[in-house]
Amino acid sequence: MQLPRLFGETLKLKVPVIIVNFKTYSEATGARAVKLSKLIEKIADNEQINAAVAPQNIDLAKVAEAVNIPILAQHVDPIKPGSFTGSILPEAIKACGAAGSLINHSEKPMNLNQIKVAIERLRKLKLISVACAKDVENSIQIAKLRPDFIAIEPPALIGGGIAVSKAEPELVSGAVAKIHKINPKVKVLCGAGITTAEDVKAALRLGTVGVLLASGVVKAKDPARAMRDLCSGLKF
Ligand code: G3P
């Protein structure tokens, strides 16, 4: 169990881990984001596994007040404080209690220079960077930028219930090998279609330290049951 958060403290992202991205699903927006985060925290605690959530940025502060698991923003912009109306400032997510941020999700893509600056800004603020990569080539480019994590997520499999770890095992193991050749310190996750314990086990067997998933929990008929099943895959 994580110790209670001290004022202004950001929590560490321990591995192996299941990160649940809330995207902009209505099932995980506003008060429902808080409720789902509490559920995920409780199950992770009972099952003794590491879990983190990525609510919408507008819900970060409320979720951070409610739970003691690491919280990630879904996106930050590669900016410093100043005149950037409508942008997401890395300092702002830290002030909300986020431990770090996803960046370059295929639903919020960035160019390489933007990814580089975002990683540097997060690092400077002691925030975790979880950079998504759409394919092996993209993961190689991003590995050179020294993110803390790379999540390999082929867009074609996102939201479809066919797990990348089962459907494209070579893509995952190939990405892990190539990323580690460039930078062995980068922790690799995979995501897209992960819905069962078997999918999580397969991801770990391929050399990842966990999974980034969304619909398998957020859109599940019974999110608690789905989360419990996923957790059992992390403990094998
Ligand atoms: O960030 C998680 C993601 O894009 C995968 O989504 O619904 O296939 O788990 P999903």
Share of the chain above pLDDT 90, in %: 94
Determine how many CB atoms are found less than 10 A away from the CB of residue 172.
28
Catalytic hit among 47, 75, 91, 153:
153
Q: How many helices (H) and strands (E) does the chain have?
A: 10, 8
pLDDT at 33: 98
The structural domains of the chain, with segments of one domain joined by +, span: 17-235
75 belongs to the catalytic site: no
Task: Provide the percentage of residues in the chain whose pLDDT is more than 70.
Answer: 95
- What tens digit of pLDDT does each residue of 69-80 get? 999 999 999 999
The DSSP symbol for 222 reads S
pLDDT at 23 over 60: yes
The CB density around residue 4, as the number of other CB atoms within 10 Å, is: 7
Alpha helices in the chain (DSSP H): 31-47, 60-66, 90-95, 112-124, 136-143, 164-167, 169-182, 197-205, 215-218, 223-234
Tell me the CATH number of domain 17-235, given options 1.10.1050.10, 3.40.50.2300, 3.20.20.70, 3.40.50.300: 3.20.20.70
Residues 98-113, mean pLDDT to the nearest whole number: 98
**CA 106 to ligand 1 centroid distance, Å:** 10
Q: What is the pLDDT of residues 141-178, one digit of tens each?
A: 999 999 999 999 999 999 999 999 999 999 999 999 99
b/e per residue, 88-125, with b = 16+ CB within 10 A?
bbbebbbebbbbbbbbbbbbeebeeeebbbbbebbbee
Mutate to test the pocket of ligand 1, among 19, 21, 24, 149 (most ligand atoms within 8 A of CB): 21
Joined together, the tokens standing for residue 202 give 């397969």
Position 216, amino acid: G
Which of 9, 105, 168, 198 is catalytic? The answer is 105
41 given a catalytic annotation: no
Q: What is the rounded radius of gyration, in angstroms, for the C-alpha atoms of the chain?
A: 16
Look up the pTM and report it.
0.96
57: amino acid identity, one letter: N
